[in-house]
Structure 1
Amino acid sequence: MSKAAGENIGVGMVGHAFMGAVHSQAWRTVHRFFDVPYVPVLAALGGRDEVRAKAAAVRLGWAAVETDWRDLIAREDVGIVDICTPGDSHAEIAIAALAAGKHVLCEKPLANTVAEAEAMAEAARAASERGVRAMVAFNYRRVPALAHARRLVADGVLGEIRHVRAAYLQDWLSDAEAPMTWRLRKEFAGSGALGDLGAHIVDAAQFVTGEHITGVSALTQTFVRDRPEGEGRGEVTVDDCALFTARLSGGAVASFEATRYALGRKNAMRLEINGSRGSVAFDFESMNELSYFDGTDPGTESGFRRIVVTEPEHPYLSAWWPPGHGLGYEHTFTHEVADLLRAIGSGADPAPGFDDGLRVQRVLDAVSASAEDGSRWTPVPDTPVEGR
């Protein structure tokens, strides 16, 4: 599937709700700001309801509509398949797309079960040998401030990592009468706040530290057991919040919290890392900032320093605006597809790949097992990733 530099590459996207809209924005704009080897063409949008899909295609800029994802994969003008559906369909679509020789971008979490994630990772490894690439969409890796935090850790600025503190706080389900959604059904979503939000902070913690989680002790809670649905009420079959402690492969200890019931917190994805020489702290509600503490400063001048992450030397920012002009949520997806296109162009496997997604899935599975068994310590099986 190699193409000459600057040639068009067709994208087919399955799903057109929230994630479909933000992915569409990324595909429409990436080549206008980043030096990428291909110009993406929004070839086909997949949706089961033809009327809704056609309306979304007009609104989001897609040239055609397919009501069966199999037909979308089979199109000759589609070279990349972008999966923005609920987790229960990720494995089937991704494995079929890779077998058909199409590059794949798949939303997180990679799958609803470890078995599905293992099958997807195996398919991605086999496809890689044929020059076909697969990426899982952990967009927070592409927040410039978090990418800069990773640089600080990798450069040894923080010293030995001792503590990781991660939380993802939202409040959109706090109203017990908010209507039922697919995100509250296990058969579609796999889990609740754990997979929806916890997957992000697990990946962010592992990404920034360069380490992986080796074991967890967890508890989960469902606060509202049923919600309005149609003429009656539907049963909620997933967690509303998840809390767990963890150990990392380098010896650090960590805590994680994911909830959709934190009143007043709209999208507070937070990460703090404490090392032997310094600390960094991040909150997505101030996404263009990073707090840095230099432990070598004299006590009389010590304190957290506010870094405004908008300089052209910061990750991704040379493509955007003058210093001091902040980015938003949608830019992280543009960065994501830029990295995918560059990986395809260079013949390299992108990061995070499906093995990275599998690693996160194994953590989520261990959290669920620990919570079901009364918060016992649960080891996380390792996921060796070649070349990383």
Structure 2
Amino acid sequence: MTKKTVRIGMIGYQFMGKAHSHAYRDLPFYFDNPLEPEMKVISGRNEDAVKAAQQKFGWESYELDWRNVIERDDIDVIDIVTPNHTHAEIAIAAAESGKHIITEKPLALTVEEAERMLAAVQKNNVKHMISHNYRFVPAVQLAKKLIDEGKIGQIYHYRGHYLQDFIIDPDFPLVWRLKKEVSGSGALGDIGAHNLDLARYLVGEFDEVVATMETFIKERPLGEMTSGLSAKGDRSKMGEVTVDDAVSILARFDNGALGIIEATRFANGNKNKNKFEINGSKGAIRWDMENMNNLEVYYSDDEAGEQGFRLINVTEEIHPYTGNYWPAGHIIGYEHTFIHLMDEFFRGIAEDYQPSPNFEDGVINQKLLEAIEQSAKDRCWVKL
């Protein structure tokens, strides 16, 4: 029986373009989704680069103007993997054309932009998601299940940090991620947004925050991204860094829990340390993206003398998503989180429900990012 297809148009083609393209290609292999992605067209301004991406990633064709993609009648979904300052214009145009939308995070540059994006998708009744892929790690899904079942009791603490070191070299160039007019914020929106989303997903909504931010290197050589998180620059031409290099946050949640959250791209020796620990009245949970298949769980009602964190390798068939892959202990990786996210997105389209995280989450997260920046500027607590 031939499956119904969902026809994808992707705007952008670099790091996240590669990750999303891989997910589209592998989703039908591993998951029995009602829809099968059809990779119709990829778009970018640099013809040589986008043509190379089209051929390597497996897209049927390419366009140099994203507007041409949205205007096409043979496209059902617009996937936005471009720098943050372009999200709002593209998403609103896609919604007005009746296309379903998935976009990278953060949703927009400002709360006002994010709210206009949400209004557009709601008005035009299209499905929408924001790519907080870490929710879809099997170990994180298991953590959510244990919390929802009350296994660790009332939550008292959330401790999260997202540590990287890829821009610690002063010669790393002034790429778009370091320009406020393009990215909105630095470590806060780039990586901190992911850990903040995990906090919301696992613990609940934030009530108030107080934060401090710092930019350690004020000027950098001009340059551009090449692949992944690599870049090249020209030391003879310098420009001002206009975003944060690091942020530290204290928080209170609506349910009374306390939070400590840190994001920095200046943590030597840490490549992608997205980590959390959650302490409750009956136990605790720990997880680290650099060891993503393992979840550490502590139960306070274990026998005295036998208490301690137990290590669960979240790869058995009973665990979320993992039964679609390999036998227990045959671990999966970062790229599979996007497959899980796309599986949820396409099921929402096929079965006519609104998947999450979506633009509503994006608006809430945008307000949270804005409150954190406001707190750091004013040196005071800010209510959400």
Match of 1:213 in 2: 206
- Report whether the alignment pairs 1:111 with 2:108: yes
Q: Give the Cα–Cα distance (whole angstroms) in 2 for the partners of residues 354 and 19 of structure 1.
A: 18
Of 207, 232, 235, the residue aligned with 2:240 is: 235
Question: CA 1:295/1:185 → structure 2, altered by over 3 Å: closer, same or farther?
Answer: same
Q: Give the Cα–Cα distance (whole angstroms) in 2 for the partners of residues 93 and 232 of structure 1.
A: 32
Gaps of 5+ in 2: 223-233
Question: 1:299 Cα deviation (Å)?
Answer: 2.7
Match of 1:295 in 2: 300
TM-score (norm 2): 0.95
Alignment of 1:43-122 (within 5 A): 43-122=40-119
Q: Give the Cα–Cα distance (whole angstroms) in 1 for the partners of residues 312 and 5 of structure 2.
A: 38
How big is each residue's C-alpha offset from its partner over 1:77-122, in whole Å with a ceiling of 9 and x where there is no partner?
2111000001100011011101101000000111111111111111
| Aligned residue identity for 1:274 | N
Match of 1:275 in 2: 280
Q: Retained in 2: the 8 A contact 1:161–1:275? A: yes
Q: Retained in 2: the 8 A contact 1:5–1:345? A: no
Match of 1:313 in 2: 318
How big is each residue's C-alpha offset from its partner over 1:111-147, in whole Å with a ceiling of 9 and x where there is no partner?
111111111111122233xxx2000110000000011
- Report whether the alignment pairs 1:146 with 2:140: yes
Match of 1:254 in 2: 259
Q: Give the Cα–Cα distance (whole angstroms) in 2 for the partners of residues 279 and 62 of structure 1.
A: 44
| Aligned residue identity for 1:53 | V
Identity of aligned residues (%): 45
Aligned-residue CA RMSD (Å): 1.1
Alignment of 1:366-381 (within 5 A): 366-374=371-379, 376-380=380-384
- In structure 1, the residue corresponding to 2:124 is in which secondary structure? helix
Q: Give the Cα–Cα distance (whole angstroms) in 2 for the partners of residues 240 and 223 of structure 1.
A: 6
Match of 1:202 in 2: 196
Give the paired residue count. Answer: 372
Gaps of 5+ in 1: 381-388
Question: 1:228 Cα deviation (Å)?
Answer: 1.2
Q: Give the Cα–Cα distance (whole angstroms) in 2 for the partners of residues 362 and 279 of structure 1.
A: 29
Match of 1:385 in 2: none
Q: Retained in 2: the 8 A contact 1:44–1:66? A: yes
- Report whether the alignment pairs 1:13 with 2:13: no
How big is each residue's C-alpha offset from its partner over 1:193-212, in whole Å with a ceiling of 9 and x where there is no partner?
00001110010111122x11
Structure 1 residue ranges, 4+ long, deviating more than 2 angstroms after superposition:
none
Match of 2:170 in 1: 176
Q: Give the Cα–Cα distance (whole angstroms) in 2 for the partners of residues 222 and 179 of structure 1.
A: 15
How big is each residue's C-alpha offset from its partner over 1:199-244, in whole Å with a ceiling of 9 and x where there is no partner?
10010111122x1111100000000001111431111100000101
Q: Give the Cα–Cα distance (whole angstroms) in 2 for the partners of residues 232 and 35 of structure 1.
A: 52
Q: Retained in 2: the 8 A contact 1:5–1:37? A: no
TM-score (norm 1): 0.94
| Aligned residue identity for 2:89 | E
Match of 1:31 in 2: 28
How big is each residue's C-alpha offset from its partner over 1:50-102, in whole Å with a ceiling of 9 and x where there is no partner?
12111110111111111111100111221110000011000110111011010
Question: CA 1:5/1:156 → structure 2, altered by over 3 Å: closer, same or farther?
Answer: farther
Match of 2:229 in 1: none
